[in-house]
């Protein structure tokens, strides 16, 4: 308890899944958490407050630069600082390359890539104004995917967007290091995690995805991950415990990218 005391964290896509778990874990460890999402998220913020944490919610389309500026301004007005940014909001557009429309492709890039870019662009000025101790403490955490490390059939748009997040993260890390602003930037790469993003059907099928069967076949640990598994990684990257890490990729996938299950 208390690893994030005195810190303010902004988490996008926080109404459910990984974003919700990140907000809850950061609040549990003492951070004031600002949750945002295009979906309703006030109930999540209220639950954090009921558990003794500090949280607020803002409706937020991450592709809207004006909305980003308004939310960061509200964080500055309400708290006067921003220590942690978790760019978690994302969507998955599945389908064969020949079946994807240009609008679908652009929407995937707008949410998963433009949203992360805008989050960093709009948040950095306030993060740079925030007082730092000798370990720095400013932390940007971009949620990518193992799909940002390797390709997958029927997920060309998603893989492209998550690969972009991976390299954008490294560029921002080097830029911040060169400026000496004490802000670190790392990416997290989840594998099969039980979240609403898996609720889509397999292309060409009317059956929902069976995550347990998929995990048993593809994951060396033979099980799916939970949102808290990613939130715990985010907590580490947000805390001073990871003060010597920047531009890194934290893979949380039960061994999927290590090799073929036996």
Active-site residue, 158 included:
yes
Token pair for residue 39?
A: 């979906």
Pairing of strands 84-87, 54-59: unpaired
pLDDT for position 201 = 47
The two tokens of residue 45 are 């913020």
Closest C-alpha among 112, 156, 139 to residue 13: 112
* Number of neighbouring beta carbons within 10 Å of residue 246: 21
Q: Which residues contact 236 (CB under 8 A, 6 or more apart)?
A: 242, 250
> What values do phi and psi take at 140, rounded to 5?
-105, 130
Parse the chain into domains and list their residue ranges: 8-252
Q: Residues 57, 117, 158, 168: which is the catalytic one?
A: 158
Q: Which residues pair with 58 in a beta bridge?
A: 36
Tokens of 4: 């994030």
Burial of residue 244 (CB within 10 Å: 0-12, 13-18, 19+) is exposed
10, 58 in Cβ contact below 8 A? Answer: no
CA distances from 231 to 88, 183, 227 (A): 11, 20, 6
CB 49 within 8 A of CB 27: no
| Cα of 192 vs its chain's centroid, Å | 15
User: Is the pTM higher than 0.85?
Assistant: yes
Task: Note down pLDDT in tens along the chain; length 262 residues.
Answer: 689 999 999 999 999 999 999 999 999 999 999 999 999 999 999 999 999 999 999 999 999 999 999 999 999 999 999 999 999 999 999 999 999 999 999 999 999 999 999 999 999 999 999 987 655 669 999 999 999 999 999 999 999 999 999 999 999 999 999 999 999 999 999 999 998 777 654 555 556 678 888 889 999 999 999 999 999 999 999 999 999 999 999 999 999 999 878 7
Give residue 197's pLDDT.
76
* Residue 5, token pair as written in the block: 């005391």
Please choose, from the candidates 13, 41, 21, 15, the residue with its C-alpha nearest in 3D space to the C-alpha of residue 226.
Answer: 21
Homologous superfamily of the 8-252 domain (CATH): NAD(P)-binding Rossmann-like Domain (3.40.50.720)
Q: Does residue 110 contact residue 55 with C-beta atoms inside 8 Å? A: no
């Amino acid at each position: 308890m208390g690893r994030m005391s005195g810190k303010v964290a902004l988490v996008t896509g926080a109404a459910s899944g990984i974003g919700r778990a990140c907000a809850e874990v950061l609040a549990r460890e003492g951070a004031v958490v600002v949750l945002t999402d295009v979906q309703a998220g006030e109930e999540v913020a209220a639950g954090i407050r009921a558990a003794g944490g500090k949280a607020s919610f803002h409706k937020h389309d991450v592709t809207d630069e004006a909305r980003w500026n308004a939310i960061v301004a509200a964080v500055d007005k309400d708290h006067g600082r921003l220590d942690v940014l978790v760019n978690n909001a994302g969507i998955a557009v599945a389908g064969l390359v020949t079946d994807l429309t240009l609008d679908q492709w652009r929407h995937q890039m707008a949410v998963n890539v433009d949203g992360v870019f805008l989050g960093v662009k709009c948040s950095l000025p306030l993060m740079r104004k925030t007082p730092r101790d000798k370990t720095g403490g400013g932390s940007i955490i971009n949620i990518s995917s193992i799909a940002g490390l390797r390709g997958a059939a029927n997920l060309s748009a998603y893989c492209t967007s998550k690969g972009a997040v991976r390299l954008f993260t490294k560029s921002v890390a080097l830029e911040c290091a060169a400026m000496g602003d004490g802000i670190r930037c790392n990416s997290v790469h989840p594998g099969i995690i039980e979240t609403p993003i898996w609720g889509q059907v397999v292309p060409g099928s009317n059956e929902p995805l069976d995550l347990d069967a998929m995990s048993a076949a593809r994951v060396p640990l033979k099980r799916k991950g939970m949102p808290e598994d990613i939130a715990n990684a985010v907590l580490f990257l947000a805390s001073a415990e990871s003060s010597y890490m920047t531009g890194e990729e934290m893979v949380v996938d039960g061994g999927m990218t290590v090799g073929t299950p036996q």
